Every structure is written in C-alpha cells, then in structure tokens.
Chains A and B, each alone.
Chain A
C-alpha cells in the first residue's frame, strides 16, 4: 500500500477532507484529471462540437424524467392510456415531466443526428477513432430501440399500430419470421404481454446497455483524444511538458463553452416544450390521443419523424427495386471478376455468392417476368418477398454506418481539405436523406408513381454514398492539411 498523504499543518477543513478522500479513493481524483482538468481538447472546436455534450444532457433529462414517469405510469393495456392522462392532469407537475420526456425523445434524435453529421464532415471516425465511432453507432442503434419500445407505452392508436407494423416486419424474415414475431409480441397481436415486455426493455434493459455504451464511447474518445474541424492530430505537436500545443484543458474552457451551448439549446427546447409540445403533430402524433383500438386500423400509420428515412427505404423496396438491386449486383460482380486481380477460387466464390443473392432477390423472377413467363411460387425460384429485402435495407442502412471507418479512403480527414465536389456529394446525400425522411411522414406513394421513384432513387443514393466511398473518397485534388489547427482568438 502506498504511503498516506498528509495535509499540511494548519490546513483548512476542506483540504483535510480532500486529502482524507484522496488517500482512500484516489481513482476519483485520477478520473477527474483524465476526463476534465487534464483532458487536452483541441482549441478550434466550432458550432458542430456542441452536440456531444448536449446528447449527454438530453440523456440525463430522459433518465430523470423517466424515473418520475414510472412512478405513476401503469404498464397495463387496460390502464396505460388513462395513466398517461392521469400524469397530465392529477400528478402535480406531471404535465411538465411528461412533456420534458416527449420533447426530449425528439430532441435526442435531433442532437444525435447533428452529432453524427459532425463526425461525417470532419472524418472523426478515421484512425485511431474507429472504436469511438463504432460505440457511437451502437448507441444510435440502442437509441432507436429505446424510442421504439417507449413509443408503445402511451397506448394510443399510433403507439399500437406503429408497433404492430414494425413487429410484423420481423414476420417477413424467411422461415422463422412468424415465430420470431410471436416471440417479440408474446401474443398473436400486440397486446398486454407486448406492453409489459416493451416497458421492461424501455425502462431497464436498453437504458443499461445505453449507459454502458456511453461510458465506452467517452472513455475511448478520451484515450485517443478528440478530432477537430481541421482533422489535425493535436498530439503530434507537444510542448516540453508533453501537453499538445493546440490543446486546452476540457475544464474550465470547454465546460464553460458547453454551458453556453446548453443555454441556447434549452431556449429552443423550452420554447417547444412550453408553447408547442406537439410540434404540429411531429413530436406527439395527434392520432395517439385516441386510445389503442385493435379493431380499428388508422387510415395512415406513420412512424415518428426520426424513423421516417428508414421507413421510406422499406416502402421503396418493391419488386422493381429488388430487380434493380439484382442488376447492380450482377454488374458489379462482373466488373470485379473481369478487372480485379484475384485467385480463380476467390472469383468462383464471388460469382457463386452473387448468383445466390440475385436468385433470392428475385432476379430470376424479374428476368422471366420480362419475357412474360411467371415462375411457380417456390422460394428457390422466385426468391424472398420484396418486403423482407425492405427490412434488410432498413436494417442495413444503420448497420452500414459501422463500417464507415474502413470505407473512407480520403487522404484528408476533414471536409475542409477535400476536393470541392466532395461537399456536393455530401450535400446530395444529406438532401436524399431529408427527402426520405419527409416521404416517410406522408401516406405511401402509389405504386409506380413519380414519388415512389424518387424514394427509390434516394435509397440508392444513400447506399451508393457508402458503398462507392472507397472509390470516390480518394478521387480529386486535395488541399494541403496544415500541421497545426487553424484558430483565431475570440
């Protein structure tokens, strides 16, 4: 055991107490230094760097308000809807807690989407921050689960039918789908059993995973150090004491800086919460003020706004879409077999895999359809249902994010030093994502309509952005990356 430190003679009570704790729990002091007072952060952070700390703030808001909501909410199909109204009316301050939680849910996604966009433009996922990014993607996945489970709890029409639609997606998985959906629901329709298990997932299972991942995300970040808008490694240039020349201690510089971010964020958050808590039906859907009715399907079932881009990808996956996907796989396999140098065995495996995927996508069916022959309905011939591939695309749209660190081959991390047209590519990607999001809030586009084609093109742009990144990201003329960060004193 190490020697105990002694407080100097005549020291104040505070110093004595600190020394006493330091002797018994030194890792608390070490953690404070590692993560606050001696965590050296690049001094050139801009607007985009507020959203990490804001995501933490919203997480705390959600956990604290969630605890109070659980004290009054009843996870029971017969009482759930009424118990939410009970919170809104009878529980002192209940309306405020509930609105904080419902506004917080949407705010969480806004903040996290902007946080991810920051990573995208400044290459924050690049070596050595791959794990930081992967933990972040896992957090995003957990967040989607958390939001999905939580949305069933108010037990309104949208809660009920939204859950019904999403759980039914799992039924599209070949062979095991029906059993899988049954396992998730705990019943043949969404019911009391579903509500109870979703409540368990929402209040304990997912939040536990989420908190663990947040800790991993931050620890990994503080080990490798933050990236910055220039994409310059500040640890490459250190002073005599080993402190990065462009680094400043997180506390107090970024703690006061983030306090300003928090103040502005809370202005927006509270403006919505106090003056427009439904935000035009986007944060609280109007139909969700009708109690769940298993016998009455609403005419238009829309997920909450933060899921809509992915929902549109699902709806865009029709038979024509899977035919196009088959063609894309066919052409890209042919191209790589002809142009890429690899062993004959590898080529054989590649072609075999492509044939299987194309067959399962319904490629044969599409080809025979062109000449007017319909195949017998057997899955080996016709492939899986387009709905299943829609589910695959929807899931793949999130999973593909995990691979981003290995898809980007750009010599410069930050968009600042990449060719101008890379910004255009990024803009097209963002606009496509927004179009997908908007379309998901609207009733389904008629089959074969212009709107459906737009959603399909946007889906292809979304995936093309990532899958073609190994090529496009290294093309063009890059600007020289400076040795030190660019910073002008305030």
Chain B
C-alpha cells in the first residue's frame, strides 16, 4: 500500500515537472473582470486594435450594454460606420489577404480567453503575459517574436503604446544533464520608449484582457451572482430535508 502511494506520488511529481517548461505566466489582476470602467476601456482597445484583423463572431456589439454602455455610446464610439448595433463583431480584414500577409487566418477571439487556459495559468493569465511578451527579433518575417508563443504570426500591434523591447537569454547549465546548457530567458530590455509608461501599458493590457475574459462568457458575472442565491437556497433546503428525514426516521427502531 505504501509503495503504491509512493508510485502514485512519483507519477504526479514527474508529470508536474514535465508541465513546467517555458517562462512562467504573469498573473492577470482578476478583479478587473467585474470593474466596468476597466471593461469599457478594454472594449475600446479591442475595437481599435484587435478587431481590424480578428473577429469575435459570437459577440454582438449591443451585448456591451452589459458592461454599462448605452446603445448610443456603442454606436458613436465603437462601431464602424456601416455596421448596426445588433450585428456581431466581424474582422475588417479580408480573410484571403490575411492569409497572404500572415500565413494564417487570425483566429476568432470570441472564446479565446477560455481556450488558452491550462498552460500554467488561466486563459487570462496567458493573454496578459502574451500581450506583454512581444520582443524584437529581426530573423522573423514580421520583425517580432513572442516569449509565450514562439514564432507567432502576429506582429506586435500595440508596439506604439509599449515601445520596443528585446529579450535577454542566458546559457545556463542544465540541472539534469551537465553536458547540456539550457537557453533560459532572463528578462526584457527596452529599446525605444512607447507612448505609455510601463505601468500604464500593463494597466491597458489588463483592461483589454479583462474585456477578452468577459467576452469569452458574457454571462459569467451573472452566473456567479445567481449561484450565490442558489447556494443559499440549497443550504436552507438541506436543513429542512435533514430535519424532515429525522422526523420520519424516529419511528424506525
């Protein structure tokens, strides 16, 4: 029995080691998902920077009334001239051209925050790290690479805001095999400054990721709110069922 437990633990620890490859993800500030101002700022960034190439075809513009915007505000600030407020978010780019320019179609972002979870963090953690992880690499076709998505086809769309940075790697002895050295990331170094300070940029990306996270499941905040009431009801119901059961079973000898 002890041996079996030891084996089980060995299985777990080896698997845990195998999963921990690459730079660790930064933590997305979760509380932003319920912060309406952050979500609205994220929506603005999303429409201005992402929606040119990426669509969000499951998402209607007027669903943004859920994050405190009126249909008028959405129409005036977030719509292209030809679109109606009840339409879904389609990419401005022609998919054929996108394929020619980037080698692949930019994926739909409706549920991107949900699909990117599980790689050492939540989907939001991944996106928060990814959007801050671009660095200059002139060997790539776009001139950019990403620490969290090596050889990504997407260039750094937000570079004017963040500025340019380079990634510093060091060669370090491999802990498991002394004959090998590992190529390890040690940090970013700024090359040119952007229009935002580093802190403002992190804030802007956090807002954008909050919007992506909310868009992945627009009902999520409502789900949690209803869930609390359901749990309270069930707690009361459990007590009643418990006492009812006791009342009946006191006859059983």
Residues in B neighbouring A428, C-beta threshold 8 A:
1, 4
B58 (CB) vs chain A CBs: closest residue: A85
Partner of B227, one of A248, A270, A281: A270
Complex: A88 Cα to B222 Cα, angstroms: 12
Judge whether B237 and A263 touch: CB under 8 Å.
Answer: yes
Q: Min CB distance, A421 to chain B, in Å?
A: 11
Complex: A101 Cα to B5 Cα, angstroms: 35
Judge whether A260 and B1 touch: CB under 8 Å.
Answer: no
The answer to whether the Cβ of A113 comes within 8 Å of any Cβ in the partner chain is no
The answer to whether the Cβ of A289 comes within 8 Å of any Cβ in the partner chain is yes
Which of A253, A260, A281, A439 has its CB near the most chain B CB atoms (within 10 A)? A260
Judge whether A89 and B11 touch: CB under 8 Å.
Answer: no
Interface size on B, residues (CB 8 A): 52
Q: Min CB distance, B237 to chain A, in Å?
A: 5
Partner of B241, one of A88, A95, A259, A277: A259
Judge whether A290 and B224 touch: CB under 8 Å.
Answer: no
Q: Min CB distance, B178 to chain A, in Å?
A: 21
Complex: A288 Cα to B123 Cα, angstroms: 13
Judge whether B18 and A256 touch: CB under 8 Å.
Answer: no
The answer to whether the Cβ of B81 comes within 8 Å of any Cβ in the partner chain is no
Q: Min CB distance, B148 to chain A, in Å?
A: 15
Partner of B114, one of A267, A289, A439: A289
The answer to whether the Cβ of A451 comes within 8 Å of any Cβ in the partner chain is yes
Residues in B neighbouring A270, C-beta threshold 8 A:
227, 230-231, 234
Residues in B neighbouring A277, C-beta threshold 8 A:
223
Judge whether B226 and A274 touch: CB under 8 Å.
Answer: yes
Contact of A256 with B238 at beta-carbon distance under 8 Å, contacts A88-B217, A290-B115 already known: no
**Please, what's the 1-or-0 string for A50-76, where 1 marks a CB less than 8 Å from any CB in chain B?**
000000000000000000000000000
B234 (CB) vs chain A CBs: closest residue: A267
**Please, what's the 1-or-0 string for B210-253, where 1 marks a CB less than 8 Å from any CB in chain A?**
00000011110001101110110011011001101110111011
Complex: A257 Cα to B117 Cα, angstroms: 40
Judge whether B111 and A431 touch: CB under 8 Å.
Answer: no
Q: Min CB distance, A299 to chain B, in Å?
A: 11
Partner of B238, one of A263, A291, A442: A263
Judge whether A95 and B8 touch: CB under 8 Å.
Answer: no
The answer to whether the Cβ of A193 comes within 8 Å of any Cβ in the partner chain is no
**Please, what's the 1-or-0 string for B1-20, where 1 marks a CB less than 8 Å from any CB in chain A?**
10011011011101100100
Complex: A326 Cα to B253 Cα, angstroms: 57
A window 416-472: CB within 8 A of B: 424, 427-428, 431-432, 434-435, 438-439, 442-443, 450-451, 454
Contact of A95 with B123 at beta-carbon distance under 8 Å, contacts A260-B242, A274-B231 already known: no
Across the A-B interface, how many residue pairs have beta carbons closer than 8 Å? 130
Q: Min CB distance, A297 to chain B, in Å?
A: 15
Partner of A286, one of B4, B110, B117, B234: B117
Contact of A490 with B249 at beta-carbon distance under 8 Å, contacts A266-B234, A286-B117 already known: yes
The answer to whether the Cβ of A29 comes within 8 Å of any Cβ in the partner chain is no
The answer to whether the Cβ of A413 comes within 8 Å of any Cβ in the partner chain is no
Partner of B252, one of A82, A248, A286, A443: A248
Judge whether B110 and A85 touch: CB under 8 Å.
Answer: yes
The answer to whether the Cβ of A287 comes within 8 Å of any Cβ in the partner chain is yes
Complex: A52 Cα to B11 Cα, angstroms: 33
The answer to whether the Cβ of B63 comes within 8 Å of any Cβ in the partner chain is yes
Judge whether B58 and A86 touch: CB under 8 Å.
Answer: yes
Contact of A439 with B11 at beta-carbon distance under 8 Å, contacts A85-B110, A248-B252, A267-B238 already known: yes
Judge whether A259 and B244 touch: CB under 8 Å.
Answer: yes
SS class of chain B's interface: helix, strand, loop or mixed?
helix
Partner of B118, one of A260, A273, A281: A281
A window 133-167: CB within 8 A of B: none
Residues in A neighbouring B114, C-beta threshold 8 A:
278, 286, 289
**Please, what's the 1-or-0 string for A267-286, where 1 marks a CB less than 8 Å from any CB in chain B?**
10011011101100100001
The answer to whether the Cβ of B59 comes within 8 Å of any Cβ in the partner chain is yes
Judge whether A286 and B227 touch: CB under 8 Å.
Answer: no
The answer to whether the Cβ of B44 comes within 8 Å of any Cβ in the partner chain is no
Partner of B245, one of A86, A259, A451: A259
Q: Min CB distance, A384 to chain B, in Å?
A: 30
A291 (CB) vs chain B CBs: closest residue: B108
Judge whether A275 and B227 touch: CB under 8 Å.
Answer: yes
The answer to whether the Cβ of B136 comes within 8 Å of any Cβ in the partner chain is no
The answer to whether the Cβ of A43 comes within 8 Å of any Cβ in the partner chain is yes
Judge whether A451 and B231 touch: CB under 8 Å.
Answer: no
Judge whether A274 and B224 touch: CB under 8 Å.
Answer: yes
The answer to whether the Cβ of B192 comes within 8 Å of any Cβ in the partner chain is no
The answer to whether the Cβ of B57 comes within 8 Å of any Cβ in the partner chain is yes
B114 (CB) vs chain A CBs: closest residue: A289
The answer to whether the Cβ of A489 comes within 8 Å of any Cβ in the partner chain is yes
Per CB-CB distance, the 6 closest pairs between chain A and chain B, nearest first, are A274-B227, A289-B115, A85-B58, A263-B238, A289-B114, A260-B241
User: Can you give 25 A-B contacts (C-beta < 8 A)?
Assistant: A82-B58, A88-B58, A88-B219, A89-B60, A89-B218, A95-B223, A256-B241, A263-B234, A266-B234, A267-B231, A270-B230, A278-B114, A281-B117, A286-B118, A289-B216, A431-B8, A432-B4, A434-B8, A435-B11, A442-B18, A443-B18, A451-B14, A454-B7, A454-B11, A490-B250
**Besides A252-B248, A289-B115, A490-B250, 12 new A-B residue pairs in contact (Cβ under 8 A), listed by A number:** A89-B60, A253-B249, A256-B241, A257-B248, A270-B227, A270-B230, A274-B231, A438-B8, A438-B11, A439-B11, A451-B11, A454-B11
